[in-house]
Chain A
Amino acid sequence: AQKVTQAQTEISVVEKEDVTLDCVYETRDTTYYLFWYKQPPSGELVFLIRRNSFDEQNEISGRYSWNFQKSTSSFNFTITASQVVDSAVYFCALSERNFGNEKLTFGTGTRLTIIP
């Protein structure tokens, strides 16, 4: 069975500070995919990144960066120089490769509040 844990329920930081959101996952598969989604106050779910289990390279996209470490089963997300628009609930998710039977297992989310 697959499981995703986001231990940080809520985080508040002052604008321009850096913040890291933690994600720890469990799976018995050797092939799997990890995702981050953003849910702003307006409620929609916005895809941010996908990572497969064979690619441990860190990724940077503007102020966002992701650190994938298989040794610790973690896929952490860092926002650099945070902005008020980053305020949202962020979800980490896992999908095992199941040949048409894929489903996303979500963590419980981290509510991030950026204080102006």
Chain B
Amino acid sequence: DTAVSQTPKYLVTQMGNDKSIKCEQNLGHDTMYWYKQDSKKFLKIMFSYNNKELIINETVPNRFSPKSPDKAHLNLHINSLELGDSAVYFCASSQVQGAVQPQHFGDGTRLSIL
């Protein structure tokens, strides 16, 4: 069983379009994240949600809007796509408890803007 699953795996689209990436986790975790990995492999947090509530928003443009319908899902909607949005987007989840727990990552969504 896949613990953290993202769809689609690849997304190729034109500049200016709107697109969504879906993420689901079946680990029972209460916190989910979105990270962006650029072409140089640098990984940076974008958002985190805890029990459907936005916790972290790391100065990401307003064109990016995360939505968490329940604690097992965290989707990412991107408006007016730009060339600089081309990257691999990773969803992750963890359980927040006494100690900081490892984050478990999905396989990533490779977004290419033409």
Residues of A within 8 A of B (CB): 33, 35, 37, 39, 43-45, 47, 50, 52, 89, 91, 95, 97, 100-106, 108-109, 111
Please state if B90 and A100 are interface contacts (CB–CB under 8 Å): no
The interface residues of chain A, by DSSP majority, are classed as strand
A57 to chain B, nearest CB (A): 16
The verdict on A44 contacting B108 (CB below 8 Å), with A103-B48, A103-B56, A104-B103 known, is: yes
Residues of A within 8 A of B55 (CB): 100-101
Which bucket holds chain B's interface residue count?
20 to 34
Question: Residues on B close to A: CB < 8 A?
Answer: 31, 33, 35, 40-45, 48, 50, 55-56, 58, 88, 90, 92, 94, 96, 99-108, 110
Given contacts A43-B108, A44-B107, A45-B90, contact A103 B43 (CB under 8 A): no
Are A100 and B31 also in contact (CB < 8 A) when A43-B107, A47-B103 are? yes
Bound-state Cα–Cα, A80 to B55, Å: 40
**Residue of B45, B92, B100 with most partner-chain A CB within 10 A:** B100
B107 contact set on A, CB distance < 8 A? 43-44
Q: Which B residues lie within 8 Å of A102 (CB)? A: 31, 48, 94, 96, 100
Whether the pair B50, A103 counts as a contact (CB closer than 8 A) is: no
**Is the CB–CB distance between A101 and B56 below 8 Å?**
yes
Which of A35, A100, A102, A105 lies at the interface centre, i.e. has the most chain B CB atoms within 10 A of its CB? A102
Contact indicator A108/B41 (Cβ below 8 Å): yes
- CB-CB under 8 A from A106, the residues of chain B are 42-44
- Cross-chain contact B100 with A43 (CB below 8 angstroms): no
Query: Do B99 and A89 touch (CB < 8 A)?
Result: no
